[in-house]
Amino acid sequence: MEGLHWVQHRWRQLLGRHSGRGWTSAPAGPPEKTSQEAHGSPQAVSRKRRTVFARNGPHPQEYEATSRGYMGNAIRSSKYTLLTFIPMNLFQQFHRAANLYFLFLVLLNWVPVVEAFQKEITMIPLLVVLTVIGIKDALEDFRCYLFDKKVNNNVVRVFCG
């Protein structure tokens, strides 16, 4: 039932009925009509209120207490960190059928009865492919990191009051 409300909410946004509200998440329950909406007024009045504490405002203690429970608003679109690059990249690369095939050949060549070539020679194609794809993924992720850093360090204007 909750999914139906989300679909209705998105459909209304696409049709422009609530264009002033922007692309927000769907309400938790069914949409409530205010007295103005019930009488045909086009403006919707929000019943929910929120308290916003400015970081450098008159209430720094309240800001610190409230902001601890929330995530920051920094953008992070990179997939990896320095610690997780090798394990996550190998995990993603071995989801490809060709890499699994080469890994199977390498493991099969370690069995003495089935050994066709030297063990080191069968590892070369797999290592080359893993290295090239790993370098490509590292460069792409580094570019994402630099772009995120640029976006997060943009100077913005904040209007108060």
The amino acid that residue 30 corresponds to is P
> For the chain, what percent of residues have pLDDT higher than 70?
64
Task: Kindly state whether residue 104 falls inside one of the protein's structural domains.
Answer: yes
Task: Kindly state whether residue 13 falls inside one of the protein's structural domains.
Answer: no
Task: Kindly state whether residue 126 falls inside one of the protein's structural domains.
Answer: yes
What integer pLDDT is reported at residue 26 of this predicted model?
Answer: 46
Q: Find the domain containing 95 and state its range.
A: 82-153
The answer to whether 145 and 78 have CB atoms below 8 angstroms apart is yes
What integer pLDDT is reported at residue 116 of this predicted model?
Answer: 76
Q: Is the pLDDT reported for residue 23 higher than 50?
A: no
The residue whose two tokens read 């007295």 is: 35
Task: Kindly state whether residue 72 falls inside one of the protein's structural domains.
Answer: no
Cα 14 from chain centre: 23
Q: Is the pLDDT reported for residue 22 higher than 60?
A: no
Average pLDDT score over the chain: 76
Mean per-residue pLDDT, 87-91: 94
What integer pLDDT is reported at residue 140 of this predicted model?
Answer: 96
Over the stretch 120-150, which tens digit does the pLDDT of each residue have? Answer: 888 898 999 999 999 999 999 999 999 999 9
What integer pLDDT is reported at residue 18 of this predicted model?
Answer: 43
Task: Kindly state whether residue 107 falls inside one of the protein's structural domains.
Answer: yes
The answer to whether 129 and 102 have CB atoms below 8 angstroms apart is yes
What's the rounded Cα separation, in Å, for the pair 156 and 153? Answer: 9
Q: Is the pTM of this model over 0.75?
A: no
Q: Is the pLDDT reported for residue 48 higher than 80?
A: no
Q: Is residue 53 classed as helix, strand or coil in its secondary structure?
A: coil
Task: Kindly state whether residue 33 falls inside one of the protein's structural domains.
Answer: no
The total domain count for the chain is: 1
Task: Kindly state whether residue 6 falls inside one of the protein's structural domains.
Answer: no
Closest CA to 13 of 3, 25, 2, 23: 23
What integer pLDDT is reported at residue 54 of this predicted model?
Answer: 63
Over the stretch 65-85, which tens digit does the pLDDT of each residue have? Answer: 777 777 777 888 889 989 999
Task: Kindly state whether residue 98 falls inside one of the protein's structural domains.
Answer: yes
